């Protein structure tokens, strides 16, 4: 049985906030010590990061401490944005195995960093588990990092987010670093993962029939831009809706699945439209034969997508209450998108129940779709653990 507890405190003093958050987390866990502590703090905490880590280890007793900076932090109790705050999650349990790692950057966080992390955590996840990754945005090459992890470990769920705030920093045990990759391998607790990409499919899915690199020339043997315009006009009140929304492209993960629904796509940015040629450029390489469907993202679509994602997670849990969880939320969501505080954690609590949860607002998220790990933007990535 895993004993878990979370704490959240807002204060201009990082040490004071950390102390309050740690005391709350340990008190809620029901255990007099922790084996693992996750710590997320807003960026101004960097100057006091070593003192912050000392407080965490002194109060919780955790030997494995991992965390990073965010533009805001959260627990199941709420979300704090725009002011100094610290969130702490403590974990203790005989069956829980955790290996923290700090990979220092050599100017980039890509394949070399992924290989280094894989080597350090391989024994912990040899028989399953998952990996939390918290990289710095400086020099980050997410696809190369994920590719190196996959090459070394095979498919293993990778979840996490990119450090955010001003300045960025990463925390592992007694070390605070900038420009690094913080990682934590966990085994002994079963992960259930949901990815809310915040989008609603519009129009119809079609096969890409002519493309080069990240440029789609034809969809269903028609100019890609014509299909895009058709999808937009399929909306009710398209002009008013588009003014408040973003348009994206969804690439089907499993084109054989029918019908395609929310959650079946890898969502990527539209980088541009060439009206003269009818081509559409995406933020992802594409190939002929892939299925594409355009997507709309606004507060309404994001709320509906998160609700659908939580329904899927609840179905996988099959009545089990999570022991603990992490929620990695994009800095582009939160109150700025939804207009109300605590939007996402309120929905999580309502659908999955009250359990220890921690997370932060980051610069991009990591989570698998199907059996492949991806880097996402504007996404809420949820991982809950049973055990």
Does residue 71 sit within a domain?
Answer: yes
pLDDT for res 361: 98
pLDDT for res 132: 98
Phi and psi (nearest 5°) for 162? -90, 135
Residue 94 in tokens? 């005989």
User: Within 13 A of 302's CA, how many CA atoms are on the CB side?
Assistant: 25
User: 3-state SS string over 165-184?
Assistant: CCCCCEEECCEEECCEEEEE
pLDDT for res 246: 87
pLDDT for res 175: 96
pLDDT for res 182: 98
First to last CA, the chain: 6
**Boundary residue ending a domain (246, 278, 296):** 296
pLDDT for res 190: 87
Are 8 and 152 members of one domain?
yes
**Boundary residue ending a domain (296, 311, 334):** 296
Does residue 126 sit within a domain?
Answer: yes
User: How far is C-alpha 207 from the chain's CA centre?
Assistant: 29
Indicate the number of domains in the chain. Answer: 2
Are 168 and 51 members of one domain?
yes
Are 89 and 44 members of one domain?
yes
CA–CA dist 81, 129 (Å, integer)? 31
Residue 296 in tokens? 């709309």
What is the pLDDT tens value at each position of the chain, 387 positions in all? 899 999 999 999 999 999 999 999 999 999 988 999 999 999 899 999 999 999 999 999 999 999 999 999 999 999 999 999 999 999 999 889 999 999 998 789 999 999 999 999 999 999 999 999 999 999 999 999 999 999 999 999 999 999 999 999 999 999 999 999 999 999 998 899 999 999 989 999 999 999 999 999 999 999 999 999 999 999 887 777 777 788 999 999 987 888 888 888 999 999 999 999 999 999 999 999 999 999 999 999 999 999 999 999 999 999 999 999 999 999 999 999 999 999 999 999 999 999 999 999 999 999 999 899 999 999 999 999 997
Helices 299-317 & 343-352 angle (0-180, nearest 10): 30
Using DSSP, state whether 107 is helix, strand or coil: coil
Does residue 332 sit within a domain?
Answer: yes
Are 9 and 99 members of one domain?
yes
Domain with residue 241: its CATH number is 2.40.30
CA–CA dist 144, 170 (Å, integer)? 20
Residue 325 in tokens? 């969880």
CB 157 within 8 A of CB 383: yes
**Boundary residue ending a domain (261, 296, 331):** 296
**Exposure string over 45-82, b if 16+ CB within 10 A, otherwise e:** bbebbeebbebbbebbbbebbbbbbbbbbbbbbbbbbe
Q: In sequence order, what DSSP letters do the residues of 237-296 get, joined into one string?
A: SHHHHHHT-EEEEEEES-TT-SS--TTSEEEEEEEEEETTTTEEEESS---TT-EEEEEE
Does residue 316 sit within a domain?
Answer: no
Are 180 and 224 members of one domain?
no
Nearest to 22 by CA among 44, 67, 55: 55
pLDDT for res 1: 84
Are 126 and 218 members of one domain?
no
pLDDT for res 9: 98
pLDDT for res 237: 76
CB-based burial label for 227 (10 Å; 0-12, 13-18, 19+): buried
Q: List alpha helices for 31-172, DSSP H.
A: 49-60, 111-121, 142-153
Are 145 and 25 members of one domain?
yes
Does residue 67 sit within a domain?
Answer: yes
Are 208 and 241 members of one domain?
yes
Does residue 181 sit within a domain?
Answer: yes
Are 41 and 117 members of one domain?
yes
Look up the domain containing 171 and give its range.
3-189+323-386
What would the pLDDT profile of 16-36 be if each residue is shown by its tens digit?
999 999 999 999 999 988 999
Does residue 304 sit within a domain?
Answer: no
Are 156 and 279 members of one domain?
no
Are 26 and 143 members of one domain?
yes
CB 221 within 8 A of CB 272: no
pLDDT for res 263: 80
Does residue 307 sit within a domain?
Answer: no
pLDDT for res 108: 94
Are 168 and 227 members of one domain?
no
């Amino acid at each position: 049985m895993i004993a878990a507890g979370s704490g959240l405190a807002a204060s201009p003093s990082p040490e004071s906030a950390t102390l309050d958050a740690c005391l709350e987390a340990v008190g809620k866990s029901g255990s007099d010590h922790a084996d693992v502590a996750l710590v997320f703090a807003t960026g101004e905490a960097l100057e006091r990061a070593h003192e912050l880590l000392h407080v965490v280890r002194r109060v919780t007793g955790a030997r494995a401490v991992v965390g990073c900076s965010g533009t805001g932090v959260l627990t199941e109790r709420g979300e704090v944005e725009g002011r100094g705050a610290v969130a702490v999650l403590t974990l203790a349990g005989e069956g829980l195995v955790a290996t923290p790692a700090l990979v220092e950057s050599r100017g980039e966080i890509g394949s070399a960093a992924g290989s280094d992390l894989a080597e350090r955590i391989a024994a912990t996840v040899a028989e399953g588990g998952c990996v939390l990754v918290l990289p710095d945005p400086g020099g980050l090459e997410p696809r190369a990092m994920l590719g190196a992890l996959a090459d070394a470990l095979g498919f293993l769920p990778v979840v996490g987010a990119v450090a955010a705030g001003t300045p960025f920093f990463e925390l592992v045990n007694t070390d605070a670093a900038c420009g690094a990759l913080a990682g934590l391998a966990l085994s002994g607790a079963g992960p259930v993962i949901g990815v809310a990409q915040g989008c609603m499919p519009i129009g119809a899915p079609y096969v890409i029939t002519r493309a080069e690199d990240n440029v789609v020339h034809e969809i269903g043997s028609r100019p890609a831009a014509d299909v895009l315009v058709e999808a937009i006009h399929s909306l009710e009140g398209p002009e008013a809706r588009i003014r408040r929304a973003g348009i994206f492209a969804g690439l089907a993960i499993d084109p054989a699945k029918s019908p395609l629904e929310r959650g079946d796509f890898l969502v990527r940015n539209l980088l541009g439209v060439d009206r003269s040629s009818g081509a559409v450029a995406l933020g992802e390489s594409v190939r002929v034969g892939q299925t594409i469907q355009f997507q709309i993202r606004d507060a309404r679509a994001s709320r509906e997508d998160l609700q659908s994602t939580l329904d899927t997670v609840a179905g996988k849990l099959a009545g089990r209450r999570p022991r603990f969880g992490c929620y990695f939320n994009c800095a582009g969501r939160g109150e700025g998108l939804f207009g109300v505080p605590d939007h996402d954690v309120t929905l999580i609590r309502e659908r999955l129940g009250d359990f220890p949860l921690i997370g932060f607002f980051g610069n991009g998220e990591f989570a698998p779709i199907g059996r492949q790990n991806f880097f996402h933007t504007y996404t809420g990535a949820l991982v809950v653990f049973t055990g």
